[in-house]
Each structure stands twice: as structure tokens, then as C-alpha cells.
Amino acid sequence: MSQQPQPSPEHESSDESQKSKDAAALPNRSSPRWLVFLKPKVGIPLAIMIVLVSIPLAYRSWRISSLPPIDEPFDVEAFCRVTIPDEENAFVEYREAFDLFVADTATVEEWDSEDDLYRGRWELAPTAFKAWISANARATEKWLEGTKKPDAMAVPRDQLSYSNIWHANKERAIARLAFMKAGRHLSRDETASAWKLYHAIFRFTRHLSQNASLQSRVWGIAIHAWTASEILSWAGHPGTSASDLEHAMAVLARDYETMTPPFSATLKHEHLVLKDCLNSFDYGSQVFDKNPLLNRAMIFLQAEPEFSASLLDHVLKNQLQAVDNDLATRPAFVPGNQCLFDLAASPLRPASGAELANLTLPNTMIDLIAGIPRLKHLLAGRDNERCFQATMMALLAVERSVRLHGRFPESLNECAAPSSVKAFSDPHQPVYKPLIFSTDGHFAVVYSIGLDGIDDSHSPKPSAEEERESWSQLYNSDGRFEGFRIPLWRPESDADVDEAAVVVPDNVQD
């Protein structure tokens, strides 16, 4: 048997060296597996991925920390505990009335002379209008029941959300219907029945402003202006007596004073709506792509809910400090469109108004918190409501004086009781300065100096194109309402003039 050739020592050394190299290339079972991530081919891509994730998270953390911490701007828990029993809540009946309400027909919607019906010219009403009003008799009666209640709450405070705030699609329609019914009563000289409806609409405007967010309050302000104007149609009717006017002044002053909530309460309701909106999924779809996953990712990375909620708390805290102040005591706004009061930082306000104004509002805040950028306009609307109220009350007193004396008074002081001075004060001037009154003996004007603080010197004499037999509204050069013009009501005989004083009990019941 032949012998196999034996490897030389050089070959043995070479094989052992190769085996040791191969063994070194294999993972060492005794060493940690994470060491493999230190190798360039694994570690570099991993590091890039970590950086890409860390950047948006760091940005998110910076956004949240860029605002100082703040407590709740008001006691939300206590605020939400407030409820109204059904026997006192007007919206129990309003909901039933809205369910019974019959919408307009096409013929009704196309008719553009509704003002004739509001002013009592019922003979001009087309058949479609008459049929529509008859069809809504049950809805009107149910609505009237609601106007007699002392308070209103459309949605419980702890259930307020962006989706269930009360929308005013039927509120204006049912007020429009009531105005037409009042006009029909005026055309029949049924002034007592007409007053019942006008007073009901007035209380309806107060109910819309109670326990409600900004949207409902804006509708209350708008319908109030409409009501104040149409009440003057009733006041100028020959069948309305001095005692009727005295009674109207008493109950309207009482209702406006007791049923109109402070604007801060409205902002608190709006705050609850917006906080719910920030916590809902629909919040993201308002701004970003409709893809649900992208929505959630973008909202998370930008810290929108947390940042927006904190910013909302800061803004509301700032606004609640001064929003109820009148023009004489209200601080100035910070320049810009943020609608923040120029208030210094304090323990209640960790950031000043100017500091908050320098922050960039996220897109979602701009899109959803519409009430904040519009606050200046909303306050102007509230002041405008006060202007309608004050000028209406002054003209009711003027009409009463005409009934008693057969002529316009020389001044508002002549026809105002001492306790009525505040009611006739100009809401656009400080310290209860009076409204401006002027008459030429045939017409009279009562108006405010307006937001611009300039007396526009409205003439009592109307222009040639204006109606001379009824009231008309007065506006400044910017188109803002400032007051009314009315013609002199002349009694048919001297017997219609009653010089006797009219006394109304302190506790007026309508």
C-alpha cells in the first residue's frame, strides 16, 4: 500500500491561519448582538433614520414648551354643572316649534316685498304668504309658549361640541313669521295682539344669547336689531296709546337688563366648543389631507391639539379680563388681527397680550377658532345692539310724549323719567352721555355718536326718496347704524291727547 503524501509544515501553518480568520469573521456568541449596529453598513442608515424621527419630535416638543404653563382660564367643571330645568328652559318649546315649522314655498321665497307686511300693509300680501302663515299656526303657538320662559339652553354645557351647537337656520325664519303675523294685527288695528308678538320676538333674541356660543349670540344680536326697528312701527300706530308705550318701555328695559348675559359667558361657551373640536378627529380633517393616517401623523408631529389648547387658554384668559368692559374702561387691542387686549403679564396671565400676539397661530387655530380673529367685530356688534336698544327706548319715550302733548319734546330729558337716564345714554360714549336728539317739529332723529366718535349731524328732515310716513334708520359714512328718524304722529282730535301722567307698577307683568 502506497503512503499518502503528508502536508508540509508550511501548509499546516497556512490552513490554521485561514481557519482562525474564518472563525474571527463569525459572530462571537459570547459578545452582545447589538454590536452589529456599530458596523458602518448598519449603523449609518440607522443613525439617519433616528435623526429624521428626532427632528419632528424635537420640533413638537419645542412648540409645546414655547408657551408658558397656564391654569384653566375659568372653572370649567363648575361652569358645566349649571343646568336649566325643562319648566324654565325655552328651548324645550323651541325645538317642538322648529319640528312643526313648515318651510317657505318657492312662491313665498321669490316675493321681495316682505317689508310691506312687517309695516302692517297686509292687503299687499300674496295668497302664498297667507297660506304659509296659516300652515305654521301650531309652530307659532308652541314658539310663543317658549318665549314666556325665563331662561334658555339649547345644549347642556358639558355636551357642547362643534357638531351640536345650535344652528340658526330656523331661528330667523320663525322670527320672520312672527313679524308678519304682527304686521297683520297692525293692519287690523289690533295693536295689543301685535305687541304680544313683538315682545315675544324680543325675548326670543335674549334667549338666543343665553347659554350659547358665539354663533347663536350673533343671531340674537341680528334679530334684536330687526325687532327694535319693527317695534317702532307699532309705536307709531294710531292705536298705540301713551300707557301702551309706557308699559312697553318698562318690560323691554326689564328684559334687556335681566336676560342679556355678559359677553364673557358667551366666550366661555365658545371655549368649550373649541376645546371639544381640538380633541375630535374632525379637527385634523379641517386642515390637512383627507387621508386619516396622514391627518393623525401631521397633527401629532406638529403638536396641534396640545399647542392649540394651551394657546386657546392663554388667549381666553386675556380676553376674559376685559371683554365685559364698556368703551370707557376697555383697554386697547394689541396691534394686528389677533384681537388680544394690551394687558401686561400677571399671575393670572403668564404672557402679556403683546407676547401672545407675537406667536404664530397654527393653521388649525386660524381655520377653526373663527371667533377669536373676529372678536373686534363681535364687540362692535354688541355695542351696535346696545345702540339699537338705547335709540329704540328713547324713541318710545318720544312717542309717548307726543301722545301726551301732541308735539315732539324739546329734548330727551323732557320725556324721560330720572330713572331712565341710563337707558337713553349713548353706548358709544363714556359716562352715560346722552344720545343726540333733534327735531324740526315734523320729524325727529335720535342717534348715537357712533364708533368713530364723530357727530354726523343727521338732519330731522328726510331726503326726497325716503318714506315720510314711517321710521327710517340712520347710518354714518362707513355704513354703520347710528339711530332712527321718525315722523310726528298727529292725533285725530284733541281728545286723543292725554295730559295725565301714566303710572306703571314696579313689578311689570306683560
pLDDT in tens, 311-337: 788 888 888 999 998 877 889 888 876
Q: What span, in angstroms and rounded, lies between the C-alpha atoms of 379 and 376?
A: 5
Contact present, 94 and 139 (Cβ < 8 Å): no
Phi, psi of 47 (to 5 degrees): -65, -40
- C-alpha 324, offset from chain centre: 14
pTM: 0.80
Contact present, 341 and 334 (Cβ < 8 Å): yes
- The answer, yes or no, to whether residue 29 has pLDDT greater than 70, is no
Q: Tell me which residue of 196, 103, 76 sits closest to 147, measured CA to CA.
A: 196
Mean pLDDT of the chain: 78
- The answer, yes or no, to whether residue 495 has pLDDT greater than 50, is no
Phi, psi of 444 (to 5 degrees): -135, 150
Compute and round to an integer the Cα radius of gyration of the chain.
Answer: 35
pLDDT of 96 = 94
- Residue range 92-103: average pLDDT? 91
Q: What span, in angstroms and rounded, lies between the C-alpha atoms of 447 and 419?
A: 20
- Single-letter residue type at 87: E
Higher local confidence (pLDDT), 36 or 342:
342
- The answer, yes or no, to whether residue 375 has pLDDT greater than 80, is no
- Cell 404672557 appears where? 351
- For the record, the C-alpha cell of 340 comes out as 388680544
Question: pLDDT band at residue 498, thresholds of 50, 70 and 90?
Answer: very low
pLDDT of 400 = 93
Question: pLDDT band at residue 284, thresholds of 50, 70 and 90?
Answer: very low
- For the record, the C-alpha cell of 54 comes out as 428626532
Q: What span, in angstroms and rounded, lies between the C-alpha atoms of 205 and 260?
A: 9
Instruction: Please give the C-alpha separations between residue 406 and each of 283, 298, 314, 399, 496, in angstroms, as whole numbers.
Output: 62, 72, 57, 10, 9
- What is the b/e burial string over 55-65, where b = at least 16 CB atoms within 10 angstroms of the residue's CB? eeeeebeebee
Contact present, 404 and 417 (Cβ < 8 Å): no
Contact present, 351 and 68 (Cβ < 8 Å): yes
DSSP labels, 320-368: HTTTT--TTTPPPBPSSSS--B-----SS-SS-HHHHHTSPPPHHHHHH
pLDDT of 289 = 43
Question: pLDDT band at residue 361, thresholds of 50, 70 and 90?
Answer: low
Q: What span, in angstroms and rounded, lies between the C-alpha atoms of 247 and 224?
A: 19
Q: How many Cβ atoms from other residues are within 10 Å of residue 83's Cβ?
A: 12
Plot region of 66 (φ>0 → left; ψ -120 to 50 → alpha; else → beta):
alpha
Contact present, 299 and 284 (Cβ < 8 Å): yes
Q: What span, in angstroms and rounded, lies between the C-alpha atoms of 65 and 54?
A: 16
Instruction: Please give the C-alpha separations between residue 250 and each of 406, 417, 448, in angstroms, as whole numbers.
Output: 22, 11, 22
pLDDT in tens, 177-207: 899 889 889 888 999 999 999 999 999 999 9
Question: pLDDT band at residue 5, thresholds of 50, 70 and 90?
Answer: low
Contact present, 236 and 487 (Cβ < 8 Å): yes
Q: What span, in angstroms and rounded, lies between the C-alpha atoms of 350 and 413?
A: 48
Question: pLDDT band at residue 287, thresholds of 50, 70 and 90?
Answer: very low
Question: Rounded to 5 degrees, what angle do the CA atoms 184, 186, 190 make?
Answer: 100
pLDDT of 445 = 95
- For the record, the C-alpha cell of 368 comes out as 377653526
Q: What span, in angstroms and rounded, lies between the C-alpha atoms of 43 and 416?
A: 88
